[in-house]
Structure 1
Amino acid sequence: MKDRIAYCGLDCEKCDAYLATINDDQALREKTAKRWAELNNAPILPEHINCEGCRVDGIKTVFCDSLCGIRQCALKKGVTTCGDCSDMEKCQTVGEIISNCPEALDNLKG
């Protein structure tokens, strides 16, 4: 499995925070911060939009690093991704991700 597949199955390489970071794209940081701030009703600033992927060493957004319940659960259980967890089928949290992005399930099974 690619290192840039998140614990939940999302592809970090398609995430705007990842793309802005690896390309040092300030315009994309600003656009992403504005969109995420509106979606989450939270004060998200362009300087918060830096991430190299949730399963690799390196910088992460505040959400990915410490607020994402899926990442915290996977780290606690010691699984590579939710696809390795025996509770995945009944997990409502990762189920929400999968229902919004069916590709995530393919990535977890891949």
Structure 2
Amino acid sequence: MKSQINRRIFLKTGYVTGCATLLSGKLSAFSFLQEETPDPKKLNYCGYKCPDNCKLLEASVKNDPALKKEVYETWKMQERHNVDFDADKIFCFGCKIDDKPLGVVVKKCTVRQYAIERKMDACIECQNLKTCEKELWQKFPGFHNTVIKMQESYIEAKS
């Protein structure tokens, strides 16, 4: 039997506070719990679902150097991704976009590259997810475990 979680329980037990959480190393991917079954087409390649209020997206759309600098510092992009601040290079429009350039962090994402090469919409479709040792999973093993649980839910729903 599938367990369901309502919005109140979701908000009380854990909230993905945006890409800052992903990039800060405190990632917990509870965003998939908002839907009954994870949909690979609605997820990023790694299984994360960017929030509507993402500060880096806002800074990118507005092309606001001050807001980009704030996000860069808050998310510790220098130490986590070895990226120097350059307002022209610090931006993100998401990882599944066709009509905009890719941000420097998205370009480096090996999970994204792997999923694209194998024509997957998200990692929850990958048979090798449990044993995958991509850098993202090494940095965020808790997130990896959450995505594996998402995959189990996805597979259960398909069968």
Q: TM-score, normalised by structure 1?
A: 0.72
Question: Does 1:50 pair with 2:91?
Answer: yes
Q: Answer whether contact 1:11 1:104 (CA < 8 A) is retained.
A: no
CA distance in 2, matches of 1:101, 1:47: 30
Report how many residues are paired. Answer: 109
Q: What's the counterpart of residue 58 of structure 2?
A: 19
What do the CA deviations read for 1:29-69 (whole angstroms, capped 9, x no partner)? 0122343123333323222122211012222212313x211
Q: What's the counterpart of residue 77 of structure 1?
A: 118
Greater RCO (CA < 8 Å, at least 6 residues apart)? 1
CA distance in 1, matches of 2:41, 2:55: 17
Q: What's the counterpart of residue 6 of structure 1?
A: 44
User: CA 1:18–1:78 in structure 2 vs 1: closer, same or farther (change >3 Å)?
Assistant: same
Q: What's the counterpart of residue 128 of structure 2?
A: 87
In structure 1, runs of 5+ residues without a counterpart are none
Give aligned-pair identity as a percent. 22
Q: TM-score, normalised by structure 2?
A: 0.53
CA distance in 2, matches of 1:2, 1:19: 24
CA RMSD of the aligned region, Å? 3.0
In structure 2, runs of 5+ residues without a counterpart are 1-38, 155-159
CA distance in 1, matches of 2:115, 2:84: 27
Structure holding more helix per residue: 1
User: CA 1:76–1:2 in structure 2 vs 1: closer, same or farther (change >3 Å)?
Assistant: closer
